[in-house]
Amino acid sequence: ILNVEQSPQSLHVQEGDSTNFTCSFPSSNFYALHWYRWETAKSPEALFVMTLNGDEKKKGRISATLNTKEGYSYLYIKGSQPEDSATYLCAFPTSGTYKYIFGTGTRLKVLA
């Protein structure tokens, strides 16, 4: 059974702190790993799609790395701001195409 796990489940940080969380996925038959941010009362927003081992992508203060051999991706947020408060989801396509398994997410709360 394919599974995508995210940790921690939730986290509170102070404004200005840097933080990171993990997505673990099956390392065999890797195709891609997606990261999404889901703010309360909004729709999930795509952050990154990562496809190559060793990939590192950056969007403003948020960056992500990928290790396909060991089956994990890290998401980093530098200098967290209250507007970063959201649930961060990762997703893994099981057959390389349409059937995505999502993790249960990391709920981040940044305290002002």
User: Residue 76 CA to chain centroid, in angstroms?
Assistant: 9
Element (H, E) at 111: strand 106-111
Examine residue 49 and tell whether it contacts other proteins (CB under 8 A). Answer: yes
For tokens 């507007």, what's the residue?
Answer: 83
Identify which of residues 52 and 111 has a Cβ nearer to other proteins in the complex.
52
Size of the site for other proteins (CB under 8 A): 24
Is 98 a binding residue for other proteins by CB under 8 A? The answer is yes
At residue 83, φ and ψ (nearest 5 deg) are: -70, -10
Residues that bind other proteins (CB under 8 A): 31-32, 34, 36, 42-46, 49, 51, 89, 91, 93, 96-105
